Amino acid sequence: MGAAMARTLAGKGVAVVGYDVAEAARNAAAVPVVADLAELWPRTRTVVLSLPLPEHVEAVMASLLAAHAPPTLVIDTSTSDPDVTVRLGQALDAQGHALVDAPVSGGPAGAAAGTLAIMVGGSEQAVSAARPTLDHLAAKIAHVGPLGAGHTAKLVNNVLCAAHILLAGEALRMGAAAGTPIPALTDALNGSSGRSGVTEVNVPRWITSATFDSGFTMALMAKDLSLAARLADRTGLALPLIDHVVRRWQELTQVHGGDADFNRAFLGEEKG
């Protein structure tokens, strides 16, 4: 995701310099890169993060804070923990920096095309400062609330996406076993009340085509669902369906492997 966003920004005339902890990723980058994270802070006043885990975001922000750099706008497009985001925002604010949480939906293809959907949390001032960068990357930008609200919205989105994949998989496999092919079923569903983003996009693009190359893995969705489970626990609400989705996704990650495309959850235990 980060590499695709960097290419898109560069393609739209933005001066981009990047960093990745993996040397192979740095060598393959289509934009100039630095070999050490500390080299980045003197060179830019706007930083876009796209990282796997909240711990990675914390480590990068610790480097920025240690550098005592001039005021810097940080746009975190990772899927992360809202509480971690708020805490980091407070630390950054104390040094004159600003943080916007701006997780994205649309995958690497959306990043490459500049057609992502972005859920944004942050102050009006910070979001306004981030918007020129976000406009290069997104077809839809929703400012959903203060800092942390973007990450909350993304966790809600991914719980629903995972649930839709699991349930659509069972329902459509049921229909297929009863004699109606999945393409015919999805064609009917997508004009009816049972449709979802999964039936409209994922099923034809990655599942019935058997390509399974969305660029998003079972393990990454499992991580996002784990973050959602932590958020659910903090609310104190009884959410048995979310609990079931989290457990079922963990089971299927063991079945298909963490590196498998996340759309394989549609297949249940089948390995097709």
pLDDT at 218: 98
Report residue 103: phi and psi, to 5°: -65, 155
The answer to whether residue 271 scores a pLDDT higher than 80 is: no
Indicate whether 111 and 232 sit together in one domain: no
- pTM, two decimals, is 0.95
Question: Would you say residue 202 lies in a domain?
Answer: yes
Q: Which residue has the higher pLDDT, 196 or 23?
A: 196
Pair of tokens at residue 95: 């040094």
The residue-averaged pLDDT of 69-93 equals 98
Q: What's the pLDDT tens digit per position in 230-265?
A: 999 999 999 999 999 999 999 999 999 999 999 999
Question: Would you say residue 192 lies in a domain?
Answer: yes
Indicate whether 9 and 134 sit together in one domain: yes
Indicate whether 43 and 162 sit together in one domain: no
109: Cα within 13 Å, side-chain hemisphere: 9
Indicate whether 256 and 192 sit together in one domain: yes
The answer to whether residue 33 scores a pLDDT higher than 90 is: yes
Question: Would you say residue 32 lies in a domain?
Answer: yes
Q: What's the pLDDT tens digit per position in 114-143?
A: 999 999 999 999 999 999 999 999 999 999
Q: Kindly indicate the confidence band of residue 76, based on its pLDDT and cuts at 50, 70 and 90.
A: very high
Question: Would you say residue 272 lies in a domain?
Answer: no
Question: Would you say residue 178 lies in a domain?
Answer: yes
CATH number at residue 39: 3.40.50.720
Indicate whether 7 and 120 sit together in one domain: yes
pLDDT at 21: 84
Q: Kindly indicate the confidence band of residue 22, based on its pLDDT and cuts at 50, 70 and 90.
A: confident
Instruction: Please check whether residue 182 is in contact with residue 203, taking contact to mean a CB–CB distance below 8 angstroms.
Output: yes
Indicate whether 140 and 157 sit together in one domain: no
Task: Compute the mean pLDDT over every residue in the chain, rounded to the nearest whole number.
Answer: 96
pLDDT at 210: 97
pLDDT at 272: 65
Give the domain range for residue 263: 152-267
Q: What's the pLDDT tens digit per position in 55-72?
A: 999 999 999 999 999 999
The answer to whether residue 79 scores a pLDDT higher than 70 is: yes
Report residue 144: phi and psi, to 5°: -95, -10
Indicate whether 7 and 99 sit together in one domain: yes
Structural domain count of the chain: 2
The answer to whether residue 88 scores a pLDDT higher than 70 is: yes
Share of the chain above pLDDT 90, in %: 94
Largest interatomic CA distance in the chain: 65
Instruction: Please check whether residue 130 is in contact with residue 59, taking contact to mean a CB–CB distance below 8 angstroms.
Output: no
> Domain boundary residue among 145, 162, 184?
145
pLDDT at 116: 97
CATH number at residue 204: 1.10.1040.10
Indicate whether 101 and 211 sit together in one domain: no
Q: Which residues participate in catalysis according to the annotation?
A: 154
Strand partners, 47: 74
> Domain boundary residue among 145, 179, 201?
145
Strand partners, 18: 33
The residue-averaged pLDDT of 80-92 equals 98
Chain centroid to CA 60: 18
> Domain boundary residue among 110, 145, 180?
145
Going from the C-alpha of 138 to that of each of 80, 141, 200, the distances in angstroms are 19, 6, 20
